[in-house]
Structure formats: structure tokens, C-alpha cells
Structure 1
Amino acid sequence: MVATTLVGLLRSGPAEAQGTQAAPAPRARAYTRSAHLMGSHFTFTAVSPDDSLAWRALRAGLRETQRIDRLCSYWDSTSQITKINRLAGVRPVVVDQEVFDLIERTLKISALSDGAFDITFASGDKIYKFDKQAHASLPDSATVRNSVRRIGWQKVKLDPATRTVFLPEKGMRINLAGILQGYGVRRAQELMKKMGIAGGLINGSGDVYCWGQQPDGSGWRIAIGDPARPQSVSSWLTVSDLAVVTAGNYEQYFTVGGRYYGHIINPHTGYPATGLRSVTIICPDVELADALDDAVFVLGPEQGLALINRLKGVSCTLIDDSGQTLVSKGMQLHSYHSAAPAAAAHSTPKP
């Protein structure tokens, strides 16, 4: 996925000290640490009056994300996901309860989205090159149909009694990339909050979750990128205790006859999903939002909005191929018609 969520930590200045005590309590500050995790750029921000606590919490959040990456990485030869894939068509694999539960949740989202979100997408053949170049044509239809022959979330066999995962066909593979960053952000946030960080923001390369308040007591301002103008903003909203997750098809793509084809593949057809340039999901669960942005992208504007409108507590804003902004029921955005504010921090593309 590619994200263009821009996180604007726009502050109106430090809060004034209250009272007339000779030694006022330390004022909260925002502490930030960045790292390359899960193949992406992560930024952890903790708001606290205690610098020692803030740095401990930032380190703990980073280590938790690293742990999840090692456990569930598609690329790490020692991960449990790699073992499941290696033994596809051979035998079931016993996994940790955490991994079993995460896979089980992905299958529920697959059922909810009628397969638009599908972790077995990794079973597909790589027949496209998303090099931002003009291509003469799409692959022929037989090649495309053949590329998705092993994809199918319904094929994944889970046995809760033995805590095993089994892929029944050789060549099948699962990849949790469509949900893993959101899961990592969620677990890191839960840990930091439990340690006493009452406000903060974690940005996993476009998977953003913020809670509490900024040091001056204001909410967190999240800006949504404009696909037509890289590094600029189309709209923004102020949130707290919410996830804002964006996927786009304008960082990894190719064109045929002037039409964009992004890297998000429809698992039913094998063709790149079309109709949308950007999908932003807003909801309290960053893991769910991370999966839903892919699902909506595959479903397209009409069916994607219909799905979100059925879900309680979930909103979305879409930018279609024509540049039109669409929103779900009750969604309110602030339009932004110029370049990104100087105080905004630019996120890096999601893989």
C-alpha cells in the first residue's frame, strides 16, 4: 500500500503554568523517536511531563513493533508466517495464540468485504512492474487469470483446538502486510498508554493512531494528501483517540494509454484495482482501519462507501480517478487548497 497521510503537529504554543506556586509542576512536552520498522518509516511521539518516562515508553513501543515484525514478517526466514508458507500443502503449523488470533481476524475481514481483503494475495504470481512508466498494454487475460489461481482466503484452515494454520495447496502463501503495520501501531500504543503516556501519536508510514492531547491541550491535526500534487494537502481533520489510515495508488503504479494502474491488486480478478486514487479510513481501531483501506480500494467508490456506511464507528474519505472527494455518512473534512503547512511532517509511503 501507499499512503499519503501527512501528520501536522500544529501547536499554538506552550500551555501557561497554572497557579502561583514557587515550583510549578513540569509541563508536558512531546518526545519523538523514529525508526525503520516493517520495511517502513515509523515515528513514535509521547506527550509527558516526565522525560525519563517518555523515553522509556518510546523505546518500549519501538521494541514491541520490532517483536511483532519478527513474529509475522513475510520476509524473515525465522517468522511463523514464513514457516506456514514453507509448509503449504505439507502439514499444519502450530503458531502462537497471538498469530492465530491475528490471522483469524483477517479472515473475518475477508468475509466482511467479500474477499476484497485477502491475506492469500501473496499466492498470486507477480506479473506487473509498478515502475511509474508507460507500458504498452496489460498482460493477456489468460496470464492474469492464471496469476490468481491459488488465491482464496476460504482455503486457509484454522484449528483452534491445536492452534494450527494450514495452507492446503503447495504454492499458497499468506502475507499480513495489509494489516501488520496497523497491528504493530495498536500494540505499541496500548503498551505506551499502559506505562502512563496519556497522549501521543504513532505513525507507521501512513497508519496513524493518536490519543490524548498535544502538550498545549489541543487535539491532533491530521492532514490528508492530495494525489494530484505530491507533498501537498487536500483536507484535514482534528482527532483524538482515533486512527487515520490512508492508502493510495500514486506512488507505485504504471500507466497504459494514460490510465493509472496502482499496486493494489483485486484478488478476484488479478487486475490492479481501479476507480480510486486515495482511500482514508477513520475509526478507533488502527488495525481494522489498515485492512479496510485495502478492501475499499478493491471494492471501488460505490461498493466501498456502501461497506463503510454499514460499519458503526467507521468513516472514510475517498478521492476517485477524476479527483473528486467522496465521504461516508456523517464524515466532515476541512478542505485545504494550498501547499502543506510548514509545520506538517510528511509521512513515507507504506509498502
Structure 2
Amino acid sequence: MSPIADPRTRHWAGSGLLALALLLMAARLRPAQAPPTRARAYTRAAHLMGSQFTFTAVSSDDSLAWRALRAGLRETQRIDHLCSYWDSTSQVVKINQLAGIRPVVVDQEVYDLIQRTLKIAALSGGAFDITFASGDKIYKFDRLAHPSLPDSATVRRSVRRIGWQKVQLNAAAHSVYLPEKGMRINLAGILQGYGVRRASEVMKRLGIAGGLLNGSGDVYCWGRQPDGSQWRIAIGDPARPRTVSSWLTVSDLAVVTAGNYEQYFTVGGRYYGHIINPHTGYPATGLRSVTIICPDVELADALDDAVFVLGPTEGLGLINRLKGVSATVITDDGQTLVSKGLQLNSYHSAAPAAAVSPPSNP
């Protein structure tokens, strides 16, 4: 007997066709699956730490993106209240108020941040110094032409209380003490970078795989843009505000820029910016812009001020000695210089960057 003539075969074949028909019917009745949502960039801005912050999160989940952006901004606000030079309730203000009186017990977070600033001060030979706030305010950075600089005696007196070595830390008590009345610390040179770093950590923990945070020129980006490309970061041209001199394509890096082209005055046509040399009391000169590139946005935020004070040769010499850190600077005469190994994408109108080798040992 052939298999077709076998009634058992016909039975099982018929059941199989019925089962197939039922599956096809179920498939037609089942709702069609929506295509996966494509990632897009979500952005939120806020005024924090006296500056404009813009946070961007890349996600295919709008609820997650907005939740992460709110969390990042809240974290930055928290740090601002904790360490602000202007907020009367901050721990930094309390340290300053009790200078020359007694040590102040602070949160471990604040203690650790101050300790890191002192390490950067030592690394830079005091070019970065949070006690710069102890200096007398003898300059007005009003973008106007002034007849002259203050006399040398006034300038010398203005920095008499400055000195990062004077700051006393007690690790056991988590206390900070400024031994002289009138001494003050100000974390402004590192606080925006610290705020951006902590905000990015919060957003990553919530599941944001790509983002860009910009705290008034302190930029940190990670992951990719919605189209899968890396982030493109522009570096401004001090000679032509709101224009670009060069750009970088990066990911998982900080690109932090400081410039003296917004807060300055001039004397005899020479620019004097708001970054003060803590050793001399005079505004740092020789540079119009400093950009630091490295994985740590907090470190980059401090190093840009240090390089500004050290000047082009010593400043880039310092960067060349640091592993994983690069820099580009624009000098007073408009020349673009870079640390060893850094490749910039220059716009056609800009002159090509020149590398600066580390200074030879004496």
C-alpha cells in the first residue's frame, strides 16, 4: 500500500494542514509590530554656576532621556549649592568666613575636591591656585581702554594672602582651615568641570549611552550622535567672536576652553584678561585662548587656567609631560600652537597649527 493510501498518513497530514491554517490566521489577526524607535538627541538648558549649561542625551526612549537630563541638571545644582563662592549656605563660604578662626568640617566630597585642587596646584607650580580669591580686587574687566595698570606696590599688596600651600587639610576630621584672616578659596576654576563630570556619571548610570554636556565651554561627550557619528567640537576664534578657528571629532573626551576675550580691559592696545597670575598679581598675558583635551573634564577645567598663567611655552611644556592630555592655544598675535601629537581640523581661513616641543632641561 502506498503512503498516500494509508489512512493514518492522511489523518496526520490533514492535522498538519489544519494547524498551519490556524497559525496563518493567528498571524493575520496579531497586531503588526512597530519598527524599533530610532535614537534622537534630547536637549535641555539651564543657568547654573553663573553660566549657561546645555545638556544633550541620545536615546530612543524619550521618557528615559528627559528623566536623565533632569537628574543631570539637579546634580549640577546640588554641587553649585555645596561649593559656590556666592551662596551663603555653601561649605566654601563657611570655610572663608572662619578663615583665621577655626577649621571647618566639610563633606567628604568637598574635602576630596579641595584636595585634588591642591595636587593640581603643586603639579602646575602654583599656576592654578584656589586661594586666588584672597587677592584684592584691583582690576575692572569692562572691555574698555584703561590709561595704565595699577602701580606695582598696589599689585604686590593685592596677592599677599594668596598661597595654596597655606591651606590646611585634616583627613581624619575632614576639615579645611585657612590660617589667615582675609584668606578665601574659590573653586570656580574647577567647579564647572566637576559639575559636568558628576552630571555625566548620573546620566550614564540611568542608561544614557551617548551624550554631550556643555557648561559654558566645559564640554564632555561620550558615546555617539544619533546617526552613529562621533561628536564634532568647535574651538572659537578670539579675534572674531562667534566664529570658529578649528574643530575636533571626538568621543569619550572633554574639550575645555578658557579665553580672555569676554572679560578684559586694554592698556595701550594690549589685552589684559580676567585670569590673574597668582604669583605676580598681574593678569596673565601672552594667550587669548586655551583648550585642553583629555578624558577628565574636571582636570581639563583646572589645566586651562594653569596653562593660561604659564604662557604658551611653559604651558604646553606642562601638557606635553602629562599622559593622555593634549592642548591647543591661540597666542596674543593670533598664532595657533598645539601640544605634541595633537591633530586639529583647521578652517580654511585659519592658519595651520604649529606644534610646541617641551622645553629642554637646563
Structure 2 match to 1:218: 229
1:137-189 C-alpha deviation (Å, 9 max, x unpaired): 00000000000000000000000011100000000000000000000000000
Q: 1:284 aligns with which of 295, 312, 316?
A: 295
Amino acid of the structure 1 residue aligned with 2:293: I
Structure 2 match to 1:82: 93
Residue 150, structure 1, aligned to residue 151, structure 2 = no
Q: Secondary structure at the match of 2:181?
A: coil
Contact 1:233 1:338 in 2 (8 A): no
Instruction: Give the alignment of 1:289-308 within 5 angstroms.
Output: 289-308=300-319
* Cα drift, residue 337 of structure 1: 3.3
Amino acid of the structure 2 residue aligned with 1:113: S
Q: 2:194 aligns with which of 165, 183, 203?
A: 183
Amino acid of the structure 2 residue aligned with 1:147: S
Amino acid of the structure 1 residue aligned with 2:203: M
Structure 2 CA distance, aligned partners of 1:205 and 1:227? 15
Q: TM-score, normalised by structure 2?
A: 0.87
* Cα drift, residue 25 of structure 1: 1.1
Count of aligned positions: 319
Contact 1:199 1:210 in 2 (8 A): yes
Larger radius of gyration: 2
Amino acid of the structure 2 residue aligned with 1:233: V
Structure 2 CA distance, aligned partners of 1:247 and 1:58? 25
Structure 2 CA distance, aligned partners of 1:231 and 1:204? 17
Q: Secondary structure at the match of 2:298?
A: helix
Structure 2 CA distance, aligned partners of 1:48 and 1:35? 20
Structure 1 CA distance, aligned partners of 2:132 and 2:73? 28
Contact 1:233 1:337 in 2 (8 A): no
Residue 333, structure 1, aligned to residue 344, structure 2 = yes
Q: 2:39 aligns with which of 20, 23, 28?
A: 28
Q: 1:103 aligns with which of 98, 101, 114?
A: 114
Amino acid of the structure 1 residue aligned with 2:50: G
- The structure with higher relative contact order (CA 8 Å, sep 6+) is 1
Amino acid of the structure 2 residue aligned with 1:246: T
Q: Secondary structure at the match of 1:180?
A: helix
Instruction: Give the alignment of 1:168-207 within 5 angstroms.
Output: 168-207=179-218
Structure 2 CA distance, aligned partners of 1:36 and 1:95? 26
Residue 73, structure 1, aligned to residue 84, structure 2 = yes
* Cα drift, residue 22 of structure 1: 5.0
Structure 2 CA distance, aligned partners of 1:89 and 1:63? 34
Q: 1:126 aligns with which of 123, 134, 137?
A: 137
Q: TM-score, normalised by structure 1?
A: 0.90
Q: Secondary structure at the match of 2:58?
A: strand
Q: Secondary structure at the match of 1:218?
A: coil
Structure 1 match to 2:127: 116
Contact 1:31 1:55 in 2 (8 A): yes
Amino acid of the structure 2 residue aligned with 1:332: Q
Contact 1:115 1:267 in 2 (8 A): yes
Amino acid of the structure 2 residue aligned with 1:268: H
Q: 1:160 aligns with which of 161, 171, 179?
A: 171
Structure 2 match to 1:59: 70
* Cα drift, residue 24 of structure 1: 1.9
Q: 2:245 aligns with which of 234, 246, 254?
A: 234
Structure 1 CA distance, aligned partners of 2:238 and 2:348? 13
Larger helix share, 1 or 2: 2
RMSD of aligned residue pairs (Cα, Å): 1.0
Structure 2 CA distance, aligned partners of 1:194 and 1:336? 37
Q: Secondary structure at the match of 1:234?
A: strand
Residue 49, structure 1, aligned to residue 80, structure 2 = no
Q: Secondary structure at the match of 1:332?
A: coil
Q: 1:273 aligns with which of 275, 284, 287?
A: 284
Structure 2 CA distance, aligned partners of 1:219 and 1:334? 14
Residue 248, structure 1, aligned to residue 259, structure 2 = yes
Amino acid of the structure 1 residue aligned with 2:279: H
Structure 2 CA distance, aligned partners of 1:63 and 1:259? 41
Structure 1 CA distance, aligned partners of 2:164 and 2:297? 22
Q: Secondary structure at the match of 1:192?
A: helix
Residue 208, structure 1, aligned to residue 235, structure 2 = no
Structure 2 match to 1:323: 334
Q: Secondary structure at the match of 1:179?
A: helix
Q: Secondary structure at the match of 2:241?
A: strand
